[in-house]
């Protein structure tokens, strides 16, 4: 399946993510990093490496000397459960609405619903020491850890769309290249201004989902 043309680069840049290749092996949690960087095709992303032959290493955002997950992309995903609204939006932008089920309204997808939908992979956001996915792992359905939200720059986060595209057997290279060109043009403009936090106010002390550490959200002034 070929990726459709996407006319609105701006809308994709504000959302950034997915399209088509399923996992034949998922392994190596909390193992040392081992990929030869010469084989890595990612230019901006710091928390993921990907080779031309489909070997993917997702780095542990909380200890970058360790691996969170290793994948080998082989057979395309055709029926994924997607737990993040941003990823659902990108799937729709790429014309893949029929290739996923939207589970973004629940922190952990309902097991019965996954079984009924005959899901072949679940895209989830990892959280440090959170657990919560044990039941899903017991089902034997592959979990894909989407750590893009912990990247430290817009382009490093956006580049994950290339990984998500390969999951479904297509390429987002041309789309990412367009996003990259637009972003670089904006940031080199003499009128460029660094975006502020919402309402230009500090995050409330009681906020539950405040970005932490060196993530892109936490780095916003």
Residue 111 lies in a domain: yes
Residue 196 lies in a domain: no
For 10-30, the pLDDT digits (tens) are 444 444 433 233 343 444 444
Q: Residue 65's domain spans which residues?
A: 18-187
Residue 69 lies in a domain: yes
**Does pLDDT of 152 surpass 80?**
yes
Residue 205 lies in a domain: no
Q: What is the pLDDT of residue 133?
A: 79
Q: What is the pLDDT of residue 121?
A: 93
For 84-96, the pLDDT digits (tens) are 999 999 888 887 8
Residue 7 lies in a domain: no
Give the percent of the chain with pLDDT over 70.
67
Q: Which residue did the predictor score with more confidence, 140 or 63?
A: 63
Residue 213 lies in a domain: no
CATH number, domain of 79, equals 3.40.50.1980
Taken as a whole, the chain contains a residue count of: 221
Considering its fold, how many domains does the chain have in total?
Answer: 1
Q: What is the pLDDT of residue 205?
A: 43
For 52-82, the pLDDT digits (tens) are 999 999 999 999 999 999 999 988 999 999 9
Residue 26 lies in a domain: yes
Residue 202 lies in a domain: no
């Amino acid at each position: 399946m070929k990726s459709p043309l996407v006319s609105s680069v701006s809308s994709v840049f504000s959302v950034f993510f997915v399209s088509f290749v399923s996992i034949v092996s998922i392994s190596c949690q909390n193992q040392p990093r081992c990929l030869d960087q010469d084989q890595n095709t990612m230019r901006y992303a710091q928390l993921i490496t990907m080779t031309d032959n489909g070997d993917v290493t997702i780095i542990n955002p909380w200890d970058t000397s360790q691996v969170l997950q290793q994948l080998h992309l082989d057979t395309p995903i055709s029926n994924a459960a997607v737990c993040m609204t941003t990823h659902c939006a990108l799937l729709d932008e790429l014309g893949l609405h029929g290739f996923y089920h939207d589970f973004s309204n629940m922190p952990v997808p309902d097991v019965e619903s996954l079984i009924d939908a005959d899901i072949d992979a679940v895209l989830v956001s990892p959280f440090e020491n959170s657990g919560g996915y044990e039941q899903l792992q017991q089902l034997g359905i592959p979990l894909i850890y989407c750590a893009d939200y912990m990247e430290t720059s817009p382009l490093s986060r956006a580049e994950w769309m290339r990984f998500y595209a390969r999951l479904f057997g297509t390429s987002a290279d041309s789309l990412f290249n367009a996003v990259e060109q637009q972003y670089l043009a904006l940031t080199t403009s003499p009128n460029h201004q660094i975006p502020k936090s919402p309402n230009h106010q500090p995050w409330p002390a009681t906020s539950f989902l405040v970005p932490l550490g060196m993530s892109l959200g936490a780095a916003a002034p």
